[in-house]
A = this chain, B = another copy of it.
């Protein structure tokens, strides 16, 4: 088992941060040739997804779609406490944990796949935990 952590500083209220290179570096440093890589964000208003990283508009479209389905301040009860209920709902739906196979020493991402940290309530400092099982 190998573990590394790193931090991401987000700059906007909503933003997708491409962390693919960081994951590739960690998998490389682990020396693991075949196994499984878990990426985890210990946050309730951020998310992790794997999708296209070539055209940044894919993530803008995703944020727009989520905002349309889960509008900000649409009478959510948690807004009375923290005013960020929509961020919690989006985080619940997009998940805080993803798994990627490690194949021949690299994350088995497809040609069009990157790993994205989704900020739903920024700007904030976010922690990313990478666990590798060989």
Contacts and interface: CB of A to CB of B under 8 A. Distances in A.
Interface string A25-56: 00000000011101011111000011110010
B50 A97 contact: yes
Interface of A: 1, 3, 34-36, 38, 40-44, 49-52, 55, 57-58, 60-62, 64-65, 69-70, 76-78, 80-82, 85, 88-89, 91-101, 103, 108-113, 127, 129, 131, 133-134
A109 B94 CA distance: 17
A28 to B, nearest CB: 18
A42 B113 contact: yes
Given A89-B62, A93-B94, A94-B93, A101 B3 contact: yes
Main secondary structure of the interface of A (DSSP, over half): mixed
A49 B100 CA distance: 15
11 contacts: A36-B131, A38-B101, A43-B113, A44-B51, A44-B110, A49-B95, A50-B97, A52-B78, A58-B85, A61-B77, A95-B95
